[in-house]
Amino acid sequence: MPQEKERNRRVILASRPTGAPTEANFRFETQPVPKPGDGEILLRTVYLSLDPYMRGRMSDAPSYVAPFAVDEVLGGGTVAIVERSNHADYRQGDWVVSQSGWQDYALSDGRGLFKLQGPVLKHPSWALGLLGMTGFTAYMGLLDIGDPQPGETVVVAAATGAVGSVVGQIAKLKGCRVVGIAGGEEKCRYAEEKLGFDRCLDHRQDDLAAQLKQHCPDGIDVYFESVGGKVFNAVLPLMNTKGRIPVCGLIADYNSSGELPQGGDRLPLFQNAILRKRLRVQGFIINQDYGDRFEEFFRQMSQLIRLEINDRE
């Protein structure tokens, strides 16, 4: 279904899903393409980011980001092109990162836009990945909280995900030993062969803890947490003194009922590890905590990508 010049197709959140979303939770509608007023620009969506956090925002349970509104267009980061401009800072043909959401066209007064310039224009979709929110999350969590040093061991949960894959690659560039954890042999092979991780372990194997210990002979200095659950259990005993744990997600718990899991209480175990190993454990939400450093990230990350590409050529 190609985009049309006169019609704006939009996907609306019709109702909040319970469990896995179904088609009934969404409504498809079309509108005339809106016209920009004074100081406004018309954006045409070219790329739309689809991310795990969106499921959370479809619910209205308390979460770390505001829920999507029912009967409104679904939100989401996009790479868009300026079709018409009544704004001094934008011209037709400019590429921008915007929050246009699930629709062909959107108006903007320029606030919150990020104009793409320079080499990234060869790969504008990267502005939603490596050079976008997920890359930004990886970069800031790893470097600002994790502070990895050459020779240290970095363990990355969800190693082949949009965030984890970037965490591991940056850690390699910083001279770290990188051990990923992912679900299944295929993902693990990808992490080792394509992403260049030193090792990637399958969390579906029963002996994850033993394998992790074997492949982290010097312990773990940084654990990039996005999963929780049994991966965390395997990691904690291996954390080194002064270790750092940036926490950007806890997928293993996203569907929990809210009741305390039965079995022993592991909280004191964690607290004791924090004290005795002098760990730093820190949660972060990329835009709230680091929103003002996006340009710094974009510049530095562009540099890392170019360096890496040059190395391989």
Q: Which residues contribute to the site for a second copy (CB under 8 A)?
A: 62-64, 228, 232, 242, 247-250, 253, 256, 259-272, 274-285, 288-289
239 DSSP β-pair partners: 220
Which residue, 136 or 190, has its beta carbon nearer to a second copy?
136
Which residue, 120 or 286, has its beta carbon nearer to a second copy?
286
- Rounded least distance, CB 256 to a second copy, Å: 7
Which residue, 118 or 258, has its beta carbon nearer to a second copy?
258
- Rounded least distance, CB 283 to a second copy, Å: 4
- Rounded least distance, CB 150 to a second copy, Å: 22
Which segments of 158-221 does DSSP mark as H helices, in order? Answer: 164-173, 185-193, 208-215
d(CA 280, CA 284): 13
Which residue, 92 or 241, has its beta carbon nearer to a second copy?
241
User: What are the angstrom distances between the C-alpha of 17 and each of 94, 99, 173, 177?
Assistant: 37, 22, 41, 41
Amino acid of residue 231: V
Which residue, 118 or 268, has its beta carbon nearer to a second copy?
268
User: What are the angstrom distances between the C-alpha of 210 and each of 157, 201, 235?
Assistant: 16, 11, 10
Structural contact between residues 153 and 219, judged by C-beta atoms closer than 8 angstroms? yes
- Rounded least distance, CB 257 to a second copy, Å: 11
Percent helix, strand and coil across the chain, each to the nearest 5: 35, 25, 40
Q: Kindly state the tokens that stand for 252.
A: 């293993």
Other C-beta atoms closer than 10 Å to the C-beta of 227 total 24
- Rounded least distance, CB 221 to a second copy, Å: 15
Which residue, 175 or 291, has its beta carbon nearer to a second copy?
291
Which residue, 138 or 188, has its beta carbon nearer to a second copy?
138
- φ, ψ of residue 185 in degrees (nearest 5): -65, -35
- Rounded least distance, CB 234 to a second copy, Å: 14
- Rounded least distance, CB 29 to a second copy, Å: 33
Which residue, 41 or 145, has its beta carbon nearer to a second copy?
145
d(CA 133, CA 161): 13
- Rounded least distance, CB 130 to a second copy, Å: 23
Which residue, 26 or 270, has its beta carbon nearer to a second copy?
270
d(CA 203, CA 183): 6
d(CA 94, CA 56): 32
- Rounded least distance, CB 266 to a second copy, Å: 4
**Comparing C-alpha atoms, which of 159, 288, 165 is closest to residue 227?**
159
Burial of 43 (0-12, 13-18, 19+ CB in 10 A): buried
